[in-house]
Amino acid sequence: MSAQNRIPVGIIGASGYGGIQLVRLLLEHPLVDITYMGGSGSVGQNFADLYPHISHAVNLPIENIEPEEVADRAQVVFLSLPNGLASKIAPRLLAKGCKVLDLSADYRFTDLQVYESWYKETRTDGEVNSKAVYGLPEIYRDRIATANLVGCAGCYPTASLLALQPLLKQGLVDPSTIIIDAKSGTSGGGRQPKTNLLLAEADGSLGAYGIANHRHTPEIEQVCSDLAGQEVLVQFTPHLIPMIRGILSTVYAKLRDPGLVKDDILTIYKSFYRNSEWVQVLPKNIFPQTKWALGTNLCYLGVEVDPRTGRVIVVSAIDNLMKGQAAQAVQCMNIMMGWEESLALPKLTFYP
């Protein structure tokens, strides 16, 4: 495709970590051109002032956010904003015919009351929301293909749901026993400076947070319930790890059939994800390191069964900013546009 046939895309919220990943990925995408970058705090600065290392590859200013003007300049728009802002902007972009991919939580919930209750915000865009599709291709690929608005899956939900999907879809576990003990690098907290994210605070240490009340809980539960065909509550505990990128989810559940052994479950997982290029089920007795996924769109899964306790334990590793955020959004865009799903998605990290 020649350059003039590339699709113009815009990024609103380009200056954060989600934004810089999108820029990085879209610069190497063969079918798009970045034509607009929007922000708030850094309007007027050049993107390369914020990220000098990228100055040889991009020369665009951070502009004000005027949705109609953005829509004039971009066919596809990525929103990478704090929760609560996308739902002010997306309807105006959609009205002008854009396809919209939102990286915040605004369009992840089918039931807006759940959103309002966990996010303490009032929403008035119910009709727009009702057309949004949850952006996790390995679960909702078909719906994404025809969507104009995708609420891209959260980082923890992506890692957790890919680990749980085969178990729930096939009814292998008792959903009331699901425990998700998740661990994330600090980039998930964003680039706005906060004391607890300082290297001096977060390095050399580890702690849990959001115990029993983290906002990704209802998001995980919504999809688990959909997969299981029954209402599911999960126990979800995130932890902050002294590293920049990566999420590891350690997922526990009781097997309904205590006769199932590790080889059975592994076979089920390998079969389930046989055609999923971005989910790698590891061989027996191999469990993932988060760094295996860094800079890629991959999710690695390791599976174990404990015959003593009758539990299955699945360990899932992703890059929180890639499969957990920006690369997954690009994957969704490829699907929405009818392109090859893997376009511009990295598949090999630089180890170590």
Site for a copy of itself in 315-334 (CB under 8 A): 315, 317, 321-322
Q: Please say whether the dihedral angle defined by the alpha carbons of residues 22, 111, 276 and 186, taken in this order, is positive or negative.
A: positive
CB of 172 to a copy of itself, least distance (A): 17
Our CB check for a copy of itself shows the closer of 94 and 281 to be 281
Region of 64-72, 79-87, 118-126, 238-246 interacting with a copy of itself (CB under 8 A): 238-246
332 is catalytic: no
Q: What distance in Å separates the CA atoms of residue 294 and residue 319, rounded to the nearest whole number? A: 5
Our CB check for a copy of itself shows the closer of 83 and 289 to be 289
CB of 244 to a copy of itself, least distance (A): 5
Q: What does the DSSP 8-state code read for residue 345?
A: -
Which amino acid belongs to residue 281? V
- Given a contact cutoff of 8 angstroms between Cβ atoms, the answer to whether 81 and 34 are in contact is no
- Indicate the burial class of 44 (C-beta count within 10 angstroms; 0-12, 13-18, 19 or more): exposed
* Tokens of residue 223, six digits: 């999809």
Our CB check for a copy of itself shows the closer of 81 and 305 to be 305
Supply angle C-alpha 154, 24, 315, rounded to 5: 40
CB of 227 to a copy of itself, least distance (A): 18
Region of 121-129, 146-154, 156-164, 240-248 interacting with a copy of itself (CB under 8 A): 240-248
Q: What distance in Å separates the CA atoms of residue 147 and residue 141, rounded to the nearest whole number? A: 10
Our CB check for a copy of itself shows the closer of 216 and 311 to be 311
* Tokens of residue 267, six digits: 């076979």
Give the footprint of a copy of itself on residues 109-138 (CB under 8 A).
none
Per-residue interface string for the shown chain with a copy of itself, residues 37-76, x marking contact by CB under 8 A: --------------xxxxxxx-------------------
Residue 38's φ and ψ, nearest 5 degrees, are: -115, 155
33 binds a copy of itself (CB under 8 A): no
CB of 220 to a copy of itself, least distance (A): 13
Region of 16-24, 110-118, 150-158, 267-275 interacting with a copy of itself (CB under 8 A): 16-24
Q: How far lies 213's CA from each of 118, 157, 271, 298, in Å? A: 9, 14, 34, 28
171 binds a copy of itself (CB under 8 A): no
Q: What distance in Å separates the CA atoms of residue 191 and residue 326, rounded to the nearest whole number? A: 15
Which among 98, 155, 299, 332 is annotated as catalytic? 155
Give the footprint of a copy of itself on residues 188-217 (CB under 8 A).
189, 191-195, 197-209, 211-212
Give the footprint of a copy of itself on residues 214-233 (CB under 8 A).
233
Selected from 33, 72, 121, 181, the binder of a copy of itself by CB under 8 A is: 181
Helix (H, G, I), strand (E, B) or coil at 235: strand
Our CB check for a copy of itself shows the closer of 132 and 240 to be 240
CB of 95 to a copy of itself, least distance (A): 34
Which amino acid belongs to residue 345? L
Q: What distance in Å separates the CA atoms of residue 287 and residue 27, rounded to the nearest whole number? A: 33
Which amino acid belongs to residue 308? R
Closest CA relative to residue 10, chosen from 96, 83, 82: 96
302 binds a copy of itself (CB under 8 A): yes
Q: What distance in Å separates the CA atoms of residue 280 and residue 195, rounded to the nearest whole number? A: 36
Catalytic residues: 155
